[in-house]
Structure 1
Amino acid sequence: EREKVIQLLKVRKRRLKKFGVRSISIFGSVARNKVGRQSDVDLLVEFEKPVGLFEFARLQMYLEEVLGRKVDLVTPEALRKELRETILREAIHAV
């Protein structure tokens, strides 16, 4: 599942750039290849410049459509302090 998600993101790199995406990394159960039927896809996204809530939500909906799963989209700045180090350590760069 991890490689499938990475590939789906890579082939849409140009479209993601139109959303202002600088990079996307996967973390959580997909990064660890421990995906269940109900698992969402945890994605860490960095933008070229700050985006508004509307653009953020549009990107999230687009990614859910592409990946066929619920997406939990988060920016590095929004990571909870107690989870930040673990997430950054396990994150796998996709785009």
Structure 2
Amino acid sequence: MINQNLDSLKKDYGVKKIGVFGSFVNGKPGKNSDIDILVEFLKPVSFFEFIEVEDFLSKILKRKVDLATKNALKPAIKKDILKEVVYV
């Protein structure tokens, strides 16, 4: 579903790179699991623009999305996430 909306994400929201990590990548999502998504933007975005992208993704994926950027990842887990992420 992200693939089908990649052009819109790039054009309308300035997304440079986007990938999935967490339970949906390692095959262990629960019934109520959110989808962990790592995003990189072409230029800095405001908090409201960030939330707009998160809402757009939640809507198209029909599930809660937890959106993150590389800079926002906690140092203790950053390395593992960057190894695990599957870019679209």
TM tier, smaller: over 0.9
How far is the alpha carbon of 1:33 from its aligned partner? 1.5
Q: Equivalent residue for 2:7?
A: 14
Q: Equivalent residue for 1:46?
A: 40
User: Structure 1 residue 86 and structure 2 residue 80: aligned?
Assistant: yes
Could you tell me how far apart the structure 2 residues matched to 1:32 and 1:68 are? 20
SS at match of 2:24: coil
How far is the alpha carbon of 1:36 from its aligned partner? 1.2
Q: Deviation per CA, 1:29-53, whole angstroms, max 9, x where unpaired? A: 0011211111000000000000000
Which consecutive aligned stretches of 4+ in structure 1 deviate over 6 angstroms post-superposition? none
Could you tell me how far apart the structure 1 residues matched to 2:30 and 2:77 are? 22
Aligned length: 87
Alignment root-mean-square deviation, CA: 0.6
Matching of residues 45-64 of structure 1 within 5 Å: 45-64=39-58
Aligned to 2:63, which of 53, 69, 76? 69
Tell me the TM-score normalised to structure 2 length.
0.96
Tell me the TM-score normalised to structure 1 length.
0.89
List alignment gaps of at least 5 residues for structure 1.
1-7
**Identity across the alignment (%):** 41
Q: What is the identity, as a one-letter code, of the residue corresponding to 1:78?
A: A
Could you tell me how far apart the structure 2 residues matched to 1:9 and 1:33 are? 18
